[in-house]
Structures are given as structure tokens and as C-alpha cells.
Amino acid sequence: GTKTAFAWHAGHYRATAAAGHLRFTRFNIHLQCDVCNVYKSGNIEAYRTALVERYGEAAVLALENNNTPHRWTVEELKEIRLAALADLRALKKLKAA
């Protein structure tokens, strides 16, 4: 993928419309350029290739076959939010360094 996109999105490998239970699963969300996410429907072939290179075939197959419904609790969502904010602070600190 590109490293010089004009805009970046939180791209979902398995779309939230098809797999809403994975909406906040970190393994399903990665940095994705706006062109791939919006105009190429996620550019799934390239996305999958990158996931396999990074995590391995078995992990990607597990994600693809995860069809177990999950209802997020308020506590889980709060934890996800705090983790995301911590990641954002760390990234801003790296950028400032």
C-alpha cells in the first residue's frame, strides 16, 4: 500500500455492515488510504495479502471465519476508547520527537 496518501481512514478488513461484531476488534482495523477504503471497496485483495504477511495465514483465516455475534458492553467500549486514546498519545509523542 501507499505511504503517501492525502487522507487516512481506519479501514476494516471485514466490513462493519457484514461483520458488525468485529467493528471494534483491533485486528480487523488498520490504517488505510482513503482511495482504497472508499473508491476500491477496501481493496480487499491487497488488504488480505498485507494481513497474511503481518500476522500469518492462520490468523487471517480465523478472522475471516469469525461469525460469532458479540454485543459490546459499556465497559468494553470504555476500555477500547481508553486504549485508542493511549495509542493516539503515543503516536503524537513519536511525531513530536
pLDDT digits (tens, 9 = 90+) for 49-69: 999 999 999 999 999 999 999
Rounded CA separation 93/97 (Å) = 6
pLDDT at 33: 92
Rounded CA separation 57/79 (Å) = 28
Rounded CA separation 70/48 (Å) = 23
The stretch 88-93 carries a mean pLDDT of: 94
Ranges of each domain in the chain = 8-70
pLDDT at 1: 62
pLDDT at 97: 84
The DSSP symbol for 18 reads: T
Q: From residue 90, how far is each of 28, 75, 83, 86 by CA, in Å?
A: 21, 23, 11, 6
pLDDT greater than 90 at residue 87: yes
Question: What are the E-state strand segments in the chain?
Answer: 8-12, 29-33
The DSSP symbol for 23 reads: T
3-state secondary structure of 30: strand
Specify the higher pLDDT residue, 46 or 2. Answer: 46
Task: Answer whether 76's CB lies under 8 Å from 28's CB.
Answer: no
The pTM (predicted TM-score) of the whole model is: 0.83
